[in-house]
Amino acid sequence: MVLQSNTGRRHISTIGTIDAVTKKFSGFVTEANCDKEAIKTMLDTIRKNYPDDKQIVLFLDNARYQRAYDVQNHAKSLNISLAFLPPYSPNLNLIERVWKLFKKKIRDTYRQTFQDFYDTSVEICAQLDVTYLPEVSNLINHKL
Q: What is the pLDDT of residues 9-23, one digit of tens each?
A: 888 999 999 998 899
* Rounded-to-integer distance, Cα 99 and Cα 111, Å: 19
Q: What is the pLDDT of residues 96-117, one digit of tens each?
A: 899 999 999 998 778 889 999 9
Is residue 31 domain-resident?
Answer: yes
pLDDT at 118 over 60: yes
Q: What is the pLDDT of residues 38-72, one digit of tens each?
A: 999 999 999 999 998 789 999 998 889 999 999 99
Q: Where are the beta strands (DSSP E) in 1-144?
A: 13-18, 25-30, 56-60, 80-84
Is residue 2 domain-resident?
Answer: no
Q: Considering the chain, what is the average pLDDT of its residues?
A: 88
Domain assignment of residue 80, given as a range: 13-135
pTM of the model: 0.82
Is residue 107 domain-resident?
Answer: yes
- What phi, psi does 15 have (nearest 5°)? -125, 125
**Structural element, H or E, at residue 39:** helix 36-49
What per-residue confidence (pLDDT) applies to 8? 64
* 105-116 burial code (b ≥16 CB/10 A, e <16): bbeeeeeeeeee
Is residue 6 domain-resident?
Answer: no
pLDDT at 142 over 70: no
Structurally, the chain folds into a number of domains equal to 1
Q: What is the mean pLDDT of residues 71-94?
A: 91
> What letter represents residue 79's amino acid?
N
C-alpha closest to that of 20 among 131, 144, 105: 144
- What phi, psi does 59 have (nearest 5°)? -95, 130
- CATH number of the domain enclosing 38: 3.30.420.10
Is residue 98 domain-resident?
Answer: yes
Is residue 8 domain-resident?
Answer: no
Is residue 50 domain-resident?
Answer: yes
C-alpha closest to that of 95 among 41, 35, 42, 40: 42
Is residue 7 domain-resident?
Answer: no
